A and B are shown apart, each in its own frame.
Chain A
């Protein structure tokens, strides 16, 4: 009996051990105070799964949600990125985000290289429909009319055995999407732990949706371990990026309990690590409880300090964990330095004839920066490439490269990618003209007078320094890997705001119909009136003697004959 017990224990241990190696789950929470009384909290749940040990059977999942792995099985995806966000990350005042997302929904995926163009087209639509069901989001609106394959702005982050070019990439953005609880709940279900356990328990809908910015993300990719990619890891990163407004809490001191409505009640049992990193660079406040470890991260010329909390250890001390900022030195209004690169986007022009889309990009760095701007403009906003201008205060800049695929009405969006160099300490304005057009009456969305959205522009850059830069390196799986991760350059992607454009909208109401009717009547009356005024009047002298009926008939017949001749 004892032997059996030992055997069972050994067996169990070996499974757990195997699981531990082939299935890794990590939870991380990064907290950073932003300028002007805002706090950024960033959750990252990383699941890594070496499916090789399961005979490449993607249906046999443990920690990773089967619904995600099934997508990879059915749609031959190498890499998948989904973000659903509400609000706007204000780069100018908040600095660079850890993970950038455009407002609304954003989706892009890399497909396997054995697929043909038509296959990808089909798989892409099917994939978006599946995701629409999976996340209760309106990805079912993804069509050929709003999909592009950008050439420069996106690179695969997977290590796949064959380099993939942009023809295997599909990108779309749905700026109209409103993100709410119905997206959060299915998102939580993709995690291995129940929503009551671990860091996920902090994500209460009520508190999340009273933040100034929130963004849900799912990023899944393949990581090949060997050359042929016969041994690969499927890695899923689920992220939540939140910005809390301390003004709403009435005071500049805060704690986890204040931000999320409750303390942290422990860790996910499946997790191999559960850590909280609190940015304490240049901050003069006290933390309760005291962090056991302070990480000094030197990265690309900038230094930052993080207080590290291992929640696994903290849990042993108390049931509820609350990290609080106390005794904050009351600073007056801080002078904030904007990050090296930020952008704004707006519409210019009056009237409903033509307008201008402008991206105003500021380089406040002391060296020039190379950037790529990606525009994905819907088909109902026809732009004119010849009006593309890149202006600075002193003159115009010539873009080093322009990639443009003109849109087609009701078929294809306008895709424009511009690569250029911004000189140091310069504001550039990239403007392009467009026309307002009429849509067919069924094409107006509900609440037509609200307007239509133009998705955000995406600005990508390789920064030479990591000043203000907080993202993890591309190859990293955990946020912790970003500490002391000095690289030759740092890849940055930021989104501008989306635009709301008011196309000429017919009045979908009773007076409109009345006007149409009245116009028809006027048009009917115009004919005779015109006839009356412009006609050549022919006067015929009346005959003195009245002709008999027969005579008249004869005359008529005779005339007709004459005519025919």
Chain B
């Protein structure tokens, strides 16, 4: 094992020989690693690399209990839907609280209303208010120590989202059924949230009492039900269900336990409603590698942004396993009047899930928490996908190590030449050369670039600055835009004040590579998709940095390099992605129009990222400003490093 051997043994000549080889082939070697990593990922779309889903937790006993649902629950759901439709004509923009509260009380749930307030960060004290409504079914077999949540986002008639009116009647009909059963050993919280994810976030914050957040005043809950084991979020578009679609991606790319996912899939299948992943109705065949690949990518694309694609995503932060079942309605113009069996199937799915969760003695702890879904019944576990990211980010770490060896060797050579002249047979210490490397300057650069990142984060998220902007009558978007422009300007001007010579730049490069490599590895451990995409994008550029060739003489080369640097600036990349996405989405539009619109969309995206970071605790924005931007600044400074001749001249003078 080379690693375990002592490196100090070995002849000097031999070492130099190695070094030259390393020097020559390091880039090639790293590129090779990168390609293997990428290839590994592509290979994951082959069915041989995927596993079939299976249950690890035996206590779930999925689908083993005999359903006790009767037709009256189905009729009740229909009645509730009619009543709700009627209520919706008079409640255009809010939840019909009196109706819902009355129904919950009639069913026999302990009903509470939860008020919350959003002090909008960019509004100068603008406030938005919302109200959740929830009812607790107290499990007769337990003393309010454990519970499960069945939640539904309520969308008023004037919403911009897809209507999901049928969800509330469905869970109320189930609540009525469940209230008459005596086997519940967990409390069930039936929660109807207002204002989409905001309501859910407020509920969870109030449940777990995070009072530091002064942007979202989460209010008080007067009824609680112990520790929440799992949560199911329902989005029923219509009772005439075409298929169920599962949404699992949560905040910061967290996923629910795979057992919960499997449970829902199994019960949906059992009750005759096809289940698809990502609103794809027809399951593609196992061997269709291309379809597998795109299915993989589509999940990873959603996961990578770290923005949850449903209310379930906010539970994960609190250690609660949760997912969303979206019942997609059949796209026909003919109204199907015979939807009884569909309602029954949906109710049975909820019943089955609740009873399985009711059986759980322990919290979800088996099965997988890190995985990528290929289709509803196949997945790739962390052990299988990590090597691809590992190889890619390892190429950066290995490169930094090789650079370290080369740099050391160079110093060694230099000094040896000097020393050889003076004293021939003296034992020399060669590790450090005090004269050549300006550690303080390198440190200053690392510190400064990170300070710019922290500063950028503070400027964009600081409340006082937002209030000031508001008092100056500057709209939020514009304010944030100018802050970003300012940050970009500062980062572009950095090399003017901090410049390195080539040898110091080499060391900065090593630090930069280590930082990037570590960041990529750790990010991909937490959010594989984000880590993977960052790896694919960053690694080639990071490998390609080559300082030796850096010289001002070749102006064209320098300009091209600077241009590439500008293109990979995080903000430019964001703009590029948005351009590309809008081009794919609206390809009939004029190109100039898209470019123009994308610009405003980028500013909007940044604003939303700030809001996400402030309210929900999404760390993508923080990651960009705390690590990616500083890394780019260091890269930019490296680009402007002074050639070595100049330094020698200085020395001689």
Chain A: residues with CB nearer than 8 A to chain B? 36-37, 86-88, 90, 93, 103-104, 210-213, 245, 247-248, 250, 333, 344, 346-350, 356, 358, 447-451, 453, 497-502, 505, 507, 509, 525, 528-529, 531-533, 535-542
Contacts and interface: CB of A to CB of B under 8 A. Distances in A.
B272 to A, nearest CB: 30
5 contacts: A86-B141, A87-B141, A90-B138, A248-B182, A333-B106
A539 B209 contact: no
A448 B362 contact: yes
A112 B9 CA distance: 81
Nearest to A210: B182
B145 A344 contact: no
Contacts of A210: 140, 182
Interface string B1-21: 001111110011000000000
A539 B430 contact: yes
Interface residues of B, number: 50
A502 B416 CA distance: 62
Given A528-B4, A537-B430, A539-B428, A88 B143 contact: yes
Contacts of B416: 539
A498 B425 contact: no
Given A87-B142, A525-B3, A350 B317 contact: yes
B593 interface: no
B430 to A, nearest CB: 6
B145 A498 contact: yes
Contacts of A539: 12, 416, 427-428, 430
Given A245-B140, A348-B208, A537-B430, A525 B363 contact: no
B365 interface: yes
Interface in B393-452: 401, 404, 412, 416, 424-425, 427-431
B366 A509 contact: yes
A85 to B, nearest CB: 8
A103 B430 CA distance: 72
A449 B365 contact: yes
A87 B143 contact: yes
A63 to B, nearest CB: 34
A354 to B, nearest CB: 12
A438 to B, nearest CB: 16
Contacts of B106: 333
Given A212-B138, A447-B361, A497 B145 contact: yes
B362 A347 contact: no
Contacts of A348: 208-209
Nearest to A347: B227
Given A358-B209, A539-B12, A541-B425, A533 B145 contact: no
B180 interface: yes
Nearest to A529: B3
A503 to B, nearest CB: 12
A213 B140 CA distance: 7
B145 A538 contact: no
A538 B319 CA distance: 53
A47 to B, nearest CB: 30
A449 B227 CA distance: 12
Contact of B180 (A87, A250, A449, A538): A250
Given A86-B143, A501-B227, A525-B3, 15 more contacts: A37-B108, A211-B140, A248-B180, A333-B106, A344-B224, A348-B209, A447-B361, A450-B362, A451-B363, A497-B143, A498-B145, A525-B4, A528-B4, A532-B3, A542-B11
Contact of B7 (A37, A356, A499, A532): A532
A450 B7 CA distance: 50
A174 to B, nearest CB: 13
A507 B365 contact: yes
B386 to A, nearest CB: 12
A533 B361 CA distance: 50
Contacts of B8: 535, 537-538
A356 B108 contact: no
The listed residue with most B CB atoms (<10 A of its CB), out of A88, A212, A505, A525, is A88
A71 to B, nearest CB: 28
A533 B408 CA distance: 10
B144 A497 contact: yes
B497 interface: no
B146 interface: yes
Contacts of A350: 208, 210, 317-319
Given A535-B8, A538-B427, A450 B363 contact: yes
Nearest to B364: A449
Interface in B457-491: none
Given A247-B179, A528-B3, A453 B362 contact: no
Contacts of A536: 429, 431
B342 interface: no
B6 A531 contact: yes
A237 B580 CA distance: 79
A333 B141 CA distance: 25
Contacts of A245: 140, 182
Contacts of A502: 227, 319, 363
Contacts of A448: 362
B341 interface: no
B7 A535 contact: yes
B420 to A, nearest CB: 10
B105 interface: yes
Which are the 10 A-B pairs with shortest beta-carbon distances? A348-B209, A103-B143, A88-B143, A449-B362, A500-B145, A212-B140, A449-B365, A532-B7, A497-B144, A450-B362
Nearest to B106: A333
Nearest to A454: B145
B183 to A, nearest CB: 9
B125 interface: no
A88 B182 contact: no
B431 A451 contact: no
B110 interface: yes
B123 interface: no
B226 interface: yes
B143 A498 contact: yes
B208 A349 contact: yes
A160 B361 CA distance: 46
A344 B223 CA distance: 8
B428 A333 contact: no
Contacts of B431: 535-537
A502 B145 CA distance: 12
Contacts of A533: 401, 404
A538 B429 contact: yes
Contacts of B365: 449, 505, 507
B145 A453 contact: yes
Contacts of A532: 3, 6-7
Contacts of B226: 346, 497, 499-500
Contacts of A447: 361-362
A65 B102 CA distance: 52
Contacts of B319: 350, 502
B140 A356 contact: no
A450 B144 contact: no
A36 B427 CA distance: 93
The listed residue with most A CB atoms (<10 A of its CB), out of B7, B140, B365, B416, is B140
A536 B141 CA distance: 68
The listed residue with most A CB atoms (<10 A of its CB), out of B8, B366, B425, is B8
Contact of B146 (A247, A248, A358, A500): A500
Given A346-B224, A449-B363, A500-B146, A93 B110 contact: yes
A223 B24 CA distance: 98
B617 to A, nearest CB: 10
Contacts of A211: 140
B602 to A, nearest CB: 33
Nearest to B205: A350
B60 to A, nearest CB: 14
Nearest to B111: A333
A453 B318 CA distance: 19
A86 B142 CA distance: 7
A250 to B, nearest CB: 7
Contacts of B424: 541
